Amino acid sequence: MKSYDFGIVGLGVMGRNLLLNMADHKFAVAGLDLDREKAESLQNEATAEQDVKATTEAQEFVNLIRKPRAIMLLVPAGKPVDSAIHSLLPHLEEGDIIIDGGNSYFPDTDRRFTELAEKNIHFFGMGISGGEKGARFGPSMMPGGDRKAYERLRPIFEAIAAKVNGDPCVEYLGNGSAGNYVKMVHNGIEYGIMQLIAEVYDLMKRGYGISDEKIQQTFAEWKESEVQSFLVEITADILNTFDDEGNRLVNVISDWAKSKGTGKWTSQNAMDLQAPVPVIDAAVTMRDMSKFKPERIEAAKKLTWTPAQKEFNETALLAQLKDAFYFAMINTYAQGLVQLSIASETYGYELNLEVVAKIWRGGCIIRAAVLEDFRQAYSRNPSLKNILLDDAIAANLIRTQEGARAIIKDAVDQGVPVAAFMNALSYFDSYRSERLATNIIQAQRDYFGAHTYERIDREGVFHTQWN
Ligand code: 6PG
């Protein structure tokens, strides 16, 4: 019987596109979906040159794949992943590999990893970024699991991944749930940068009264600059899209933002690890704020603020905004990357941040020109604590901070909320503060709760009878 190189369970858009991508690269691939229509539509979509087989039968599917079998699940996170594993298990053999390609919550991945290891089945949690198009023509992939078993997957993943200067945007990341964890933080950074872009847009439009055309033009120009990124590019496209009545589409889209939870998990876990990620926190909070629409309508009438009339020099202003965006974006990546290094220590992932920066340079939603700067920074100094401390990056931050400080002042004067920008700047200002005001917090804790404090001039632990 003919044997297939790789199998995917779940033939939704992502599953189908990944299989077709593999087939383009001459791998023989099999797909399983209980929904006959989905299985048939994949079979019909595949061209004569593509070696694709789709089925609705788990037993038949498993038998198609060469041993040790490599099977990826592309089903919604949560229970469907457990159900899919459960339905495959009776047909699998020791040494086979299951890869969860969804945005699973990382503790679930650890549980599955351990349960399956007892059965000698290798389990991988692998973040996949880049959406439908990425899956079809080159995603960024973040695999974590058993290093040896990864060798079975490597040639396939390297072939289908996005490439930057010939390097595939996939590399083994670490143990257990490392892959899902890295993807979760990727999404947290994604939330942060999306929020920063929204704030830039709001400030230009409401704060400075810049025209829609000029805003669009500005983002289009940024595509060719140091702030180049996928998210800037799609924003330029979005601002240039009109509906059938000629409205700029973005102006008629509701401001009530949805989310699936990965940004929130990043913030929640960052709190557990005591890893400050204030830009990501602000981004999650702003999506939550957006849900209070009826109250915001009421508050807009009641809680008024009339900004002083101010003349703005548009050219100078746009240069400042670009600096500010660059500055805040670097601070956002910095926060996510520090969270990764703390998580790596805590959970034993053994992450290499140069590799993370390298595979984020292409294919994924947060790909940006600055990722190559980060990769170089980690390559210069693999134990770099924070990218803010890299000499080249620090010089850029020193140069652009003035822009951030200026636009935040304008936003405050105009009454435009820029929570992510403010949090980026206070992260920077607190990180570069040799002495923070937390001495007063320690004194207060000791005052009301006898929690004790340390002194800077003497060894030991102290308590004062304050009153
Ligand atoms: C990606 C995206 C992808 C998805 C997000 C959206 O990397 O391709 O991050 O995973 O679009 O899950 O997340 P929200 O629905 O939470 O905004």
What is the model's pLDDT at position 312? 85
Closest CA to 406 of 321, 314, 282: 321
Nearest CA to ligand 1 atom 7: 129
Minimum-distance ligand 1 atom for the alpha carbon of 191: 17
**Where a domain ends, among 176, 208, 242?**
176
Answer yes or no: do 258 and 135 share one domain: no
**Where a domain ends, among 160, 176, 192?**
176
334 within a domain of the structure (yes/no)? yes
Answer yes or no: do 189 and 312 share one domain: yes
Answer yes or no: do 424 and 445 share one domain: no
Compute, in angstroms, the gap from residue 187 CA to the centroid of ligand 1.
6
The CATH number of the domain where 258 resides is what?
A: 1.10.1040.10
Nearest CA to ligand 1 atom 17: 259
What is the model's pLDDT at position 37? 96
- 382 close to 351: Cβ distance less than 8 angstroms: no
Nearest CA to ligand 1 atom 10: 129
65 within a domain of the structure (yes/no)? yes
- 38, 183, 322, 358: the active-site residue: 183
Answer yes or no: do 439 and 425 share one domain: no
Answer yes or no: do 245 and 332 share one domain: yes
Q: How many domains does the chain have?
A: 3
171 within a domain of the structure (yes/no)? yes
What is the model's pLDDT at position 39? 95
18 within a domain of the structure (yes/no)? yes
**Where a domain ends, among 176, 204, 228?**
176
1 within a domain of the structure (yes/no)? no
- Indicate the average pLDDT of the chain: 97
Whether 322 is catalytic: no
Nearest CA to ligand 1 atom 9: 187
What is the model's pLDDT at position 151? 98
Beta strands in 212-345 (DSSP E): none
The CATH number of the domain where 456 resides is what?
A: 1.20.5.320
- What pTM, to 2 d.p., does this model score? 0.97
Answer yes or no: do 446 and 303 share one domain: no
Answer yes or no: do 61 and 139 share one domain: yes
Answer yes or no: do 146 and 115 share one domain: yes
Whether 183 is catalytic: yes
The CATH number of the domain where 53 resides is what?
A: 3.40.50.720
Q: Which amino acids bring their CB within 6 angstroms of ligand 1?
A: 103, 129-131, 187, 190, 259-260, 262-263, 364-365
With cut-offs at 50, 70 and 90, classify the pLDDT of residue 318.
very high
Answer yes or no: do 260 and 395 share one domain: yes
220 within a domain of the structure (yes/no)? yes
237, 238, 241, 246 alpha-carbon torsion, rounded to 10°: -150
Answer yes or no: do 141 and 31 share one domain: yes
| Cα–Cα distance, 1 to 60 (Å, whole number) | 11
Supply 211's token pair: 């025209």
Say if residue 309's pLDDT is above 90.
no
Determine the length of the chain.
467
Minimum-distance ligand 1 atom for the alpha carbon of 262: 16
Say if residue 310's pLDDT is above 90.
no
355-393 in b/e form (b: 16+ CB < 10 A) is: bbbbbbbbbbbbbbebbebbbebbeeeeebebbbebeeb
Minimum-distance ligand 1 atom for the alpha carbon of 287: 17
294 within a domain of the structure (yes/no)? yes
Q: What is the extent of the structural domain holding 260?
A: 183-431
pLDDT, tens digit (0-9, with 9 covering 90-100), for 185-238: 999 999 999 999 999 999 999 999 999 999 999 999 999 999 999 999 999 999
Answer yes or no: do 250 and 398 share one domain: yes
Answer yes or no: do 396 and 414 share one domain: yes
Compute, in angstroms, the gap from residue 259 CA to the centroid of ligand 1.
8
Query: What is the CB-side half-sphere exposure of residue 71 using CA atoms within 13 A?
Result: 33
